[in-house]
């Protein structure tokens, strides 16, 4: 079986973890944590970088820094992972879902402004598959309406918008180093702080609401509880693992891009025949080869293709289910705007294509988001995927459509 994902090890991870263990500093904010943070600040231009235990934690820190209060509204795409919005829901926000672009799953900037009300506080663009949202337009909307922008850059490490690193444009940004990402730490994340207003408080929230970081730098003679926060900083072992990956970032990226290009070249003829759509990379964006996907013509066709590939020893998976149709969102009035009412019933489909449940749908019209939820299919993508395996996958996709 060709798996959908396989974590890549550089060979140095265990060595650096060994060094961290016998260096006597395990609890976080040690030498490897600082090395990782300094790399992200210097290489990508983040004003402040803070390692976290996950991207979810980074998003929760961002929600706290944005000072979200109950009843505040946050605009986000519906085609995203639940962590994008859950962090703000936990602070009492109401989520206003925006549709995706017609030709890619990123948030549609043409639809954002109409969703803004006097209660709107934050826009959360998600750089799906590591491909940049139209950040100039989003930042312009935010400036004109005095809103904050939190980039969900979970998939977007080493990707750029008009020459600027993703995660360096919004007021705050959040990254993931989950084992499915380009560079990994098993779990792990990063909060990038680009607005000077949030730098000092971000460290305090990161250190359980204390000014402990200032104490260790000698800026105060004792530290104490000064704000809200939690235990967001990760174990030093996570950062040690990640450092081995960072050292090999260019090598990892080069191979992933080779795989992506091989898929694209091998499937372009079928796309030209209208069998499916290939990923669209806008002129303003780069491709970090986080994933390769196709967009099928229907849910039924995608389900059949998944089964066909599985029969031939290939594991392919679809991605997000529309969050505006999720059981939580449809059943919790406090989590959604007042004008959304349950109006229909839909089936809930599992990742293997089986139907497990039914859920009510709120009165939102997000056709592009729903199309990606029904039709987008991700193909295997990992460093050790051989050219032979890629060609085999391409061949089996051809055999499905030629049949």
Sign of CA dihedral 229, 230, 236, 242: negative
Assign residue 121 a region (left: φ > 0; alpha: ψ between -120 and 50; beta: otherwise).
alpha
Give the pLDDT mean for 133-162. Answer: 98
| Two tokens, residue 248 | 């090999």
358: pLDDT strictly greater than 50? no
Please say whether the beta carbons of 145 and 98 come within 8 A: no
For the chain, where do the domains classified as CATH 3.90.1150.10 start and end?
249-402
| Confidence grade of residue 352 (pLDDT, cut at 50, 70, 90) | very low
Top-level class of domain 13-247:
alpha beta
Q: What is the pLDDT of residue 334?
A: 58
How many Cβ atoms sit within 10 Å of the Cβ of residue 298?
Answer: 11
For the chain, where do the domains classified as CATH 3.40.640.10 start and end?
13-247
Q: Please give the full DSSP string across 127-173, using - where no structure is assigned.
A: -GGGPPP-HHHHHHHHHHTT-EEEEE-TT-TT-EETTEETTSSSSEE
Higher pLDDT, 125 or 363: 125
Give the pLDDT mean for 341-360. Answer: 43
Neighbour-count burial for 60-92, b at 16+ CB within 10 Å, e otherwise: bbbbbbbebeeebbbbbbbbbbebbbbbbbebe
Q: What is the pLDDT of residue 339?
A: 44
Q: What is the pLDDT of residue 338?
A: 53
Q: Which residues contact 378 (CB under 8 A, 6 or more apart)?
A: 4, 291, 292, 293, 316, 317, 318, 319
Q: What is the pLDDT of residue 337?
A: 57
Q: List the 73-77 sheet strands across, edge first.
A: 48-52, 189-193, 172-176, 148-152, 120-123, 73-77, 94-98
pTM, whole model, 2 decimals? Answer: 0.92
226-283 confidence digits (pLDDT tens): 999 999 999 999 999 999 999 999 999 999 999 999 999 999 999 999 999 999 999 9
143: pLDDT strictly greater than 90? yes
% of the chain exceeding 70 in pLDDT: 92
283-297 confidence digits (pLDDT tens): 999 999 999 999 999
**What kind of architecture, by CATH, is found in domain 249-402?**
Alpha-Beta Complex (3.90)
């Amino acid at each position: 079986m060709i798996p959908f994902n396989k974590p890549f090890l550089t060979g140095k991870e265990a060595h650096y973890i060994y060094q961290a263990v016998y260096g006597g500093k395990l609890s976080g904010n040690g030498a490897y944590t600082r090395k990782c943070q300094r790399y992200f600040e210097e290489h990508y231009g983040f004003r402040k970088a803070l390692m976290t235990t996950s991207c979810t934690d980074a998003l929760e820190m961002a929600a706290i820094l944005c000072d979200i209060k109950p009843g505040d509204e946050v605009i986000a795409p519906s085609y995203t992972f639940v962590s994008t919005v859950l962090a703000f829901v936990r602070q009492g926000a109401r989520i206003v879902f925006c549709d995706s672009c017609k030709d890619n799953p990123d948030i549609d900037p043409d639809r954002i402004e109409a969703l803004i009300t006097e209660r709107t506080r934050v826009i959360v663009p998600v750089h799906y598959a590591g491909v940049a949202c139209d950040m100039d337009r989003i930042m312009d909307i935010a400036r004109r309406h005095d809103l904050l922008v939190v980039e969900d850059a979970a998939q977007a490490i080493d990707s750029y918008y008009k020459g600027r690193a993703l995660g360096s444009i919004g007021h705050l940004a959040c990254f993931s180093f989950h084992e499915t990402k380009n560079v990994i730490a098993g779990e792990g994340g990063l909060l990038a702080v680009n607005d000077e207003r949030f730098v000092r408080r971000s460290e305090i929230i990161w250190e359980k609401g204390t000014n402990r970081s200032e104490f260790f730098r000698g800026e105060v003679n004792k530290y104490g509880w000064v704000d809200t926060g939690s235990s967001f900083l990760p174990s030093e072992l996570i950062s040690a693992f990640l450092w081995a990956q960072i050292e090999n970032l260019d090598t990892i990226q080069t191979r992933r891009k080779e795989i992506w290009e091989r898929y694209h070249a091998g499937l372009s003829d079928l796309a030209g025949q209208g069998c499916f759509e290939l990923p669209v990379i806008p002129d303003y964006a780069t491709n970090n080869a986080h994933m390769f996907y196709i967009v099928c013509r229907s849910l039924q066709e995608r389900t059949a293709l998944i089964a066909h590939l599985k029969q031939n020893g290939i594991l392919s998976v679809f991605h997000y289910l529309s969050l505006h149709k999720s059981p939580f969102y449809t059943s919790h009035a406090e989590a959604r705007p007042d004008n959304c009412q349950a109006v229909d019933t839909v089936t809930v489909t599992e990742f293997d294509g089986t139907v497990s449940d039914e859920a009510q749908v709120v009165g939102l019209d997000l056709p592009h988001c729903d199309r990606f939820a029904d039709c987008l299919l991700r193909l295997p993508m990992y460093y050790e995927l051989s050219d032979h395996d890629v060609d085999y996958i391409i061949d089996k996709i051809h055999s499905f459509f030629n049949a």
